Structure 1
C-alpha cells in the first residue's frame, strides 16, 4: 500500500518499502551508516537523501554515487541504498528522507528522525558483524539507564520482523536469542546456525528508538589436513642406497659385473 503525503506544490508517496517513522540514534563525531529501503521496481531510478521537517522545504543533500558530506551507495539486488557519513554534529539532528526520484510522477520514499548525541540513548558495540554459514554471531545493543525497563527487540529491515526476549526460530536451521543484562544496561542478540540468507540489515530497538546493524554471513572456512609422508621400509632404503651408489660410481659397478661374469664361466677341459 502507498500512502500519499500531500504538501503545497509537491506530492511524495510514502511506500511500504520503507520502515516508516524511525527514530535513529547516532554518536556525534563518529562515522556511521544507515540503510534506506525502496521498492524493487525502482532499482534503476536515482536515489537521494533529503533533510527537512516538511517535504515541501526538504533540502536534497546528496544523490547516489556523488561525492559530498554524505555518501550514497545503491545496491539494486537488495533494493537498498546506504547513507554513509564521516562526522556528524549534534546540530545535524533532524528529520531526513530516504527518497527515490521517479520522474513525471510523485517521488517515492519515507522519513526518519535522526538524533545525533554525544552519548546516544541506544547504540551498538559494532555496527557491522560477520560470521560463517553454520556458525554463530552475537550483537551487543547498549541503552541508557532511562530505558532499562523498556521493551527490547531485534528486527530485520526487509521484512520488519522483530524478536523480543526469549528464543524464536528464524528458519529451519537458525535461531535468535535475546538476553537482557539489566545491570550492564545492554542486551545481547545471539544468532545461531547462520545461513547465507541471514545476511542483511537489522536494528536494535529499545521502545521507539533504533540503531542499524549490518550482518554478513559468508561461506564456512575449509579445513586443510597435511598428511606426513611415511618413512621408507628397510628394503626400500637398501634399494635406494644401491641406486645412489650406482649413480655415483658406474665404472666400479661395471667392473664388478664383469668379474662376476668372468668368474662364472665353466671350465673347459682339453
Structure 2
C-alpha cells in the first residue's frame, strides 16, 4: 500500500469516527439549583429516536457514568418521555450536591454510540426564579422574575427559548414596548421578562441566565401543558395497572362468594320446609272397604253358640275425602244365619 493510499484510508476512518460521534441530543449546560431544592431539566432529541429508551446518567466521563433512571420511572429522580415533542424531562428532588450528568437515548448498536448530551448541575444561590412553571392565556401575557446575587450584578442577563435556542439579551438601552419579549431590571438583584401576545406555539421550555448560570422555566398557554410531567398520560406504571386489575378481580370474587352464600341459604331453607311437611302429614283419610261374606258353623265347643260368619276384607285406595262423607262412603253387609 502506497503512502498516499494509507493517508487516504486514515482520513476516511477519522471522518467516519467523527460523524459517528455527532449527537442530536440537546440540553442546558450549567443549571443552578438551591441546596435541597428541586429542578426539572428538559432534554430534546431527533425524531428518529422516539421509540428508543431514554435515560439519565451521572458521571464526569460518558463511558463510566452510572445510569440513575430510565424513562417513565419514578422516585427521587423521575424521567418522563414526551415523544410528541421529541423531548424528555428529568425531575430532580432534594438536590444536595453538584455534578456532571447526561441526557441520553439508547441506540443499542455497537457501531453507533448512544445519543447523549451533558450538563453540569451547580448547587448555588446565585440565580433562581420566583416560579418555574407559569401559565397564560392566548393573546395575554406572562411575567417571569429571575433573581440573582450581588456577585452576578454586572453579568449578562438573557432569556432563551429551548426549542430553537433563540435568546433575548437584556440591555439597558432597549426600551421598546412593541417587542413580544420585554425586559426590566428593578435594580434590586432581579430582572423580569414579560412575554405578551401569547400563542399556543409559545408553550414550552425556556431558561433565564445570568453569567454562566441557567434556570429552566416552563410556560403553558391556554391550558396546553406539553412537556410537563404532571399531565403526561404515560405516567401510569404496569404496577398501577396490575393493582387496578387485582382490585376489580377482588370485587368480582366477593360478589361471587356473597351470591353463593345466598343461594345455599335459600336452598337449605327450601329443604327444611319440605322436611317439616314430611314430619307433619295430613290427617288420615277415611278408607273405603268392601267385604265378601262366607257363612259357616262354629263347632269349637259343646256349648251351643250362635253361628259365626267370617268375612275377608280388601282395602282399596281411599278416594279424596271431603269435609262431609258422602252417603255411599260406608258399605253395609248383611248376615244370614243357617
TM-score (norm 2): 0.56
**1:36, CA displacement in angstroms?**
1.0
In 2, distance between residues paired with 1:116 and 1:70?
17
In 2, distance between residues paired with 1:57 and 1:142?
36
Do 1:133 and 1:218's aligned partners in 2 also have CA atoms closer than 8 Å?
yes
Structure 1 alignment gaps of length 5 or more: 221-270
**1:32, CA displacement in angstroms?**
2.2
Do 1:14 and 1:109's aligned partners in 2 also have CA atoms closer than 8 Å?
no
| Equivalent residue number for residue 74 of structure 2 | 67
Please give the per-residue CA displacement for 1:9-60, whole angstroms capped at 9, x wherever unaligned. Answer: xx9845244146x110011222321111111221111100001111121011
**1:175, CA displacement in angstroms?**
0.4
Q: How large is the Cα RMSD of the aligned pairs?
A: 2.4
1:86-125 to structure 2, matched below 5 A, reads: 86-89=93-96, 91=97, 93-104=98-109, 105-117=112-124, 120-125=125-130
| Equivalent residue number for residue 189 of structure 1 | 193
| Equivalent residue number for residue 229 of structure 1 | none
Do 2:24 and 2:115's aligned partners in 1 also have CA atoms closer than 8 Å?
no
1:83-162 to structure 2, matched below 5 A, reads: 83-89=90-96, 91=97, 93-104=98-109, 105-117=112-124, 120-162=125-167
- From 175, 179, 184, give the equivalent of 1:179: 184
Larger of the two Rg values belongs to structure: 2
Whose RCO is larger (CA < 8 A, sep 6+)? Answer: 1
Give the secondary structure class of the aligned counterpart of 1:15: coil
2:202 matches 1:198: yes
Give the secondary structure class of the aligned counterpart of 2:154: coil
Please give the per-residue CA displacement for 1:204-244, whole angstroms capped at 9, x wherever unaligned. Answer: 01121100000000169xxxxxxxxxxxxxxxxxxxxxxxx
Do 1:133 and 1:219's aligned partners in 2 also have CA atoms closer than 8 Å?
no
| Equivalent residue number for residue 15 of structure 1 | 23
In 2, distance between residues paired with 1:94 and 1:121?
17
Do 1:12 and 1:107's aligned partners in 2 also have CA atoms closer than 8 Å?
no
In 2, distance between residues paired with 1:168 and 1:19?
31
Inter-CA distance 14–109: structure 2 relative to 1 (3 Å threshold): farther
Name the structure with the higher helix share. 2
Do 2:55 and 2:67's aligned partners in 1 also have CA atoms closer than 8 Å?
yes
| Equivalent residue number for residue 51 of structure 1 | 58
Structure 2 alignment gaps of length 5 or more: 1-14, 225-338
| Equivalent residue number for residue 37 of structure 1 | 44
Name the structure with the higher strand share. 1
TM-score (norm 1): 0.70
